[in-house]
Amino acid sequence: MNKAFIPSEWEEKLYSFWEQKGYFKAQINKDKQPFSIILPPPNANAPLHLGHAMYVYEDIMIRYNKLLGKEVLWLPGADHAGFETQFVFEKNLQKQGKSRFDYDRETLFTMIWDFVMENRPIMESQLKRLGFALDWEKKKFTMDDDIVKIVYETFKKLHDEGLVYRDTKLVNFCTHDGTSFSDLEIIYREETAPLYYMKYGPFELATVRPETKFGDTAVAVHPDDRRYKKWIGKEIEVTGLIETFKIRVIADEAVDPKFGTGVVKVTPAHDFNDYEMAKRHNIPLKQVIGFDGRLNELTGPYKGLKVLAAREKVVEDLKQKGLITKIDESYTHSVPTCYKCGRVIEPLPKEQWFVKVRPLADQAIKLVEKGEINIYPRRFKRGLIDWLKKFHDWNISRQIVWGIRIPAWRCSKCNEWTVTSGEKPTNCLKCQSKELVQDEDTFDTWFSSSQWSYATLLTQDHHSQLSNLNSQFYTYFYPTAVMETGYEILPWWVARMIMMGYFATNKVPFKNVFLHGMVRDKQGRKMSKSKGNVVNPMEVLDKYGADALRAALIFQTTEGGDITFSEDKAVGMRNFANKIWNVGRFLYLNRNGKMKEENGKSKKKLSDLHKEFFQLKKKSIKNMDSYNFSLAFDTLFEFLWHRFADFYIEELKEEVRSGNIKVLEGLEEVYLQVLLMLHPFMPFVTEAVWKEFHGEEKSILDMRIEF
Ligand SMILES: [Zn+2]
Ligand SMILES: [Zn+2]
């Protein structure tokens, strides 16, 4: 045994050994209990960040369950990450003085595909460096043909059952990125903006968006507001900037009599509240802002102006006409912004595909409440249910090229849509016309990734389909044992996977959910490029080894709580890896000692040690089984370092040195069992020592934790 454990001399070698010997390869084995986890697919296009290293929890579960004798599967994948990736790609184009508008759809798609495929191996090799026991032969990409096929089948099934519909609704639209978003992708920002009071026929009203006045189709007051009661239901005449027009006064509970003057203009095409109000009163939509973020032909001289420029000019002109009565400069309100580019989101009416969420979400709530899916740590259960309760219909259309194109064709004759599970229909389902045009849009990435649990397993057998759920591999490993991911994507992903998984397969997609926290810097701040505090996991790994990085993320953390990461922690865990090695080396070097009788003192010490270890093992297993992994690790750390090494070895080292085989064997037995318990956390050093003790071809993964 070498003097020290040098991670770089072992890691690659050991990982190849595990892979070549098929230790990570899952098979159908009817004699064994299956245990499966699907890795949340990292973005194929980006290197891993420290947050991804948190999937170490999954590796811990996989290796632990393997040591318990189960048939384990940890299935890797890569995400095309739709809009995220296109955004990065467009930034690169920009650097070359180009934009997405310079290419046709196919060319742009192919360019992004090549870009992603070139980068994908980086992310994959990094997962290997972390030591993750992934079954690489089964890896999947979210845009693999067979996965896409399953996504299409699910979409069609939803459509057939009336859970997907086409409708024109107000959507969150980023005019910079040229796509709509679901509610979850919007970030609300507090902003101070001028509130303009203007004359509006017989009224005075307040608005932050005077430029949308061309799209007003009503004026509203609260039904109980005495000041305006006599106007309700009447038409008023308003002097506008382009012309004088007539508009109806409606009464609606949603109007806040305390806001401004208690009168509001209703602009249903550009405001979510107004849109809802308009629906209640059957008021038409009048769109005056286009998808390019500019005012359109209905605005006369303002046509072509961008929203902010139009606002300025409209205010200027209103002032000229004496129509502005007051400006409140200190008004604060919350503004929806694009989560990616930060620009203000423009609510715009658009025809899109929507998932009718309530039936799916209500079913999901039942499953969680009944305990068919358990949530760990338990405190997240409430949050999950609250999210599910809040969900409403989900816009799944995106106006980007990098995604799975929606399998729906519109008839040029009768305008009706024909939805298929991928193949181009020969004729319109309604009027039989052959003039069909496919929807230009692609699916929201979360729509396809919500199907990941069953799609990845179904596609392991060739020719599997959603309509035929008998494939062997799927049947054996589905539902998966655990879904492990960061708590921050609970609503985006976990909630939707439950909805879609149950809808498509009539089974829960996973029996347990385990959520981990976010990795923060030493001061507890979020890591971000702008703060300059981002830690590259590969650098930590190069310096201290994979075991040290892994253990640093687990040691003394509260399950599900955020983790503060510092280099000191990695140093501490590197030292622990060395401790494991050195204890082993001490025992190893004293093997082959001469036979010598035990004495009373050592006998007593050994029996104490065995008792103490037995208790520890029981406790560790209990903690592992109840998802308290950090606690399990902390106790093992404490035991090996401070009890086994500092106390028992200290007490017994003379006996060992003088060749007392009984003592040596007693110590070795406990030590090797501790290695086994530590293996899921620190796979490299434990396997390295194991091989030193038992030979090059042996693996700790052949051992079983028995109790
Ligand atoms: Zn944007
Ligand atoms: Zn037709």
Which ligand has its closest atom nearest to the C-alpha of 433? 2
Domain check: are 385 and 508 in the same one?
yes
> Residue 594 above 70 pLDDT?
no
Which ligand has its closest atom nearest to the C-alpha of 186? 1
Q: How far is residue 579's CA from residue 570's CA, in Å, rounded to a whole number?
A: 14
Q: Is residue 152 part of a domain?
A: yes
Q: Is residue 14 part of a domain?
A: no
- Which range of residues forms the domain containing residue 610? 537-702
Domain check: are 54 and 200 in the same one?
no
Question: Ligand 1 centre from 345 Cα, in Å?
Answer: 7
What rounded mean pLDDT belongs to the chain?
95
Which ligand has its closest atom nearest to the C-alpha of 338? 1
Which ligand has its closest atom nearest to the C-alpha of 427? 2
> Residue 278 above 90 pLDDT?
yes
Q: Decide: 396 and 413 in contact? Cβ < 8 Å.
A: no
Which ligand has its closest atom nearest to the C-alpha of 431? 2
Q: Which H or E run includes 129?
A: helix 105-129
**Segment among 199-213, 325-339, 523-537 with least mean pLDDT:** 523-537
- For 148-170, what is the mean pLDDT? 96
Question: Ligand 1 centre from 504 Cα, in Å?
Answer: 32
Which ligand has its closest atom nearest to the C-alpha of 435? 2
Tokens of 350: 């658009």
DSSP lists the bridge partners of residue 347 as 172
Q: Is residue 15 part of a domain?
A: no
Domain check: are 184 and 259 in the same one?
yes
> Residue 597 above 80 pLDDT?
no
CATH of the domain at 55: 3.40.50.620
| Band (530; pLDDT cuts 50, 70, 90) | confident
Which ligand has its closest atom nearest to the C-alpha of 436? 2
pLDDT at 269: 97
Residue 344 DSSP symbol? B
pLDDT at 580: 98
Question: Ligand 2 centre from 159 Cα, in Å?
Answer: 18
| Tally of domains within the chain | 4
Spell out a b/e string for 493-503, using b for 16 or more CB atoms within 10 Å of the CB, else e. Answer: bbbbbbbbbbb
Q: What is the pLDDT of residues 619-646, one digit of tens each?
A: 999 999 999 999 999 999 999 999 999 9
pLDDT at 596: 63
**Burial classification of residue 79, based on how many CB atoms lie within 10 Å of its CB (0-12 exposed, 13-18 middle, 19 or more buried):** buried
CATH of the domain at 557: 1.10.730.10
Question: Ligand 1 centre from 114 Cα, in Å?
Answer: 24
Task: Let me know the angle formed at the C-alpha of 324 by 322 and 328, rounded to the nearest 5 degrees.
Answer: 150
- For 663-685, what is the mean pLDDT? 96
Domain check: are 390 and 423 in the same one?
no
Domain check: are 480 and 546 in the same one?
no
Domain check: are 549 and 628 in the same one?
yes
Domain check: are 256 and 311 in the same one?
yes
Question: Ligand 1 centre from 179 Cα, in Å?
Answer: 8
Question: Ligand 1 centre from 176 Cα, in Å?
Answer: 5
> Residue 522 above 90 pLDDT?
no
pLDDT at 467: 84
Q: Is residue 632 part of a domain?
A: yes
Which ligand has its closest atom nearest to the C-alpha of 340? 1
pLDDT at 184: 80
> Residue 595 above 80 pLDDT?
no
Other Cβ atoms within 10 Å of 528 Cβ, number: 10
> Residue 707 above 80 pLDDT?
no
Question: Ligand 1 centre from 254 Cα, in Å?
Answer: 29
- How, if at all, do strands 442-443 and 397-398 pair? antiparallel
> Residue 464 above 80 pLDDT?
no
Question: Ligand 2 centre from 337 Cα, in Å?
Answer: 39
Domain check: are 142 and 187 in the same one?
no
SS3 call for 515 = strand
- For 416-437, what is the mean pLDDT? 96
SS3 call for 121 = helix
Q: Decide: 115 and 142 in contact? Cβ < 8 Å.
A: no
Q: Is residue 477 part of a domain?
A: yes
Q: Is residue 495 part of a domain?
A: yes
Cβ partners under 8 Å of residue 142, min gap 6: 41, 77, 78, 79, 80, 404, 445, 448, 449, 452
Which ligand has its closest atom nearest to the C-alpha of 343? 1
Domain check: are 72 and 134 in the same one?
yes
- Give how far the C-alpha of residue 672 lies from the chain's centroid of Cα atoms, to the nearest Å: 38
Question: Ligand 2 centre from 129 Cα, in Å?
Answer: 55
Q: Which of 245, 224, 261 is nearest to 299 (CA)?
A: 245
> Residue 598 above 70 pLDDT?
no
Q: Of all residues in the chain, what percent carry a pLDDT higher than 70?
A: 99
Q: How far is CA 285 from CA 215, 272, 275, 297, 336, in A?
A: 8, 12, 8, 15, 21
**Burial classification of residue 456, based on how many CB atoms lie within 10 Å of its CB (0-12 exposed, 13-18 middle, 19 or more buried):** buried
Q: Is residue 476 part of a domain?
A: yes
**Segment among 46-50, 462-466, 512-516, 691-695 with least mean pLDDT:** 462-466
Q: Is residue 1 part of a domain?
A: no
Question: Ligand 2 centre from 406 Cα, in Å?
Answer: 18
Question: Ligand 1 centre from 339 Cα, in Å?
Answer: 7
> Residue 600 above 90 pLDDT?
no
Question: Ligand 1 centre from 397 Cα, in Å?
Answer: 16
pLDDT at 517: 94
Question: Ligand 1 centre from 195 Cα, in Å?
Answer: 25
> Residue 601 above 90 pLDDT?
no
Which ligand has its closest atom nearest to the C-alpha of 411? 2
Per-position DSSP letters for 206-229, written without gaps between them:
EES-GGGGGG--EEEE-TT-GGGG
pLDDT at 105: 94
Q: Which H or E run includes 506?
A: none
pLDDT at 593: 59
Which ligand has its closest atom nearest to the C-alpha of 90? 1
Q: What is the pLDDT of residues 207-246, one digit of tens each?
A: 999 999 999 999 999 999 999 999 999 999 999 999 999 9
Domain check: are 137 and 219 in the same one?
no
Question: Ligand 1 centre from 349 Cα, in Å?
Answer: 17
Question: Ligand 1 centre from 650 Cα, in Å?
Answer: 63
Which ligand has its closest atom nearest to the C-alpha of 344? 1
> Residue 204 above 80 pLDDT?
yes
CATH of the domain at 207: 3.90.740.10
Which ligand has its closest atom nearest to the C-alpha of 181? 1
Question: Ligand 2 centre from 528 Cα, in Å?
Answer: 51
Question: Ligand 1 centre from 301 Cα, in Å?
Answer: 27
Q: Decide: 268 and 217 in contact? Cβ < 8 Å.
A: yes
Q: Of all residues in the chain, what percent carry a pLDDT higher than 90?
A: 90
Domain check: are 269 and 370 in the same one?
no
What residues are neighbours of ligand 1 (ion), with CB under 5 Å? Answer: 174, 176-177, 338, 340-341
Domain check: are 561 and 613 in the same one?
yes
Question: Ligand 1 centre from 209 Cα, in Å?
Answer: 20
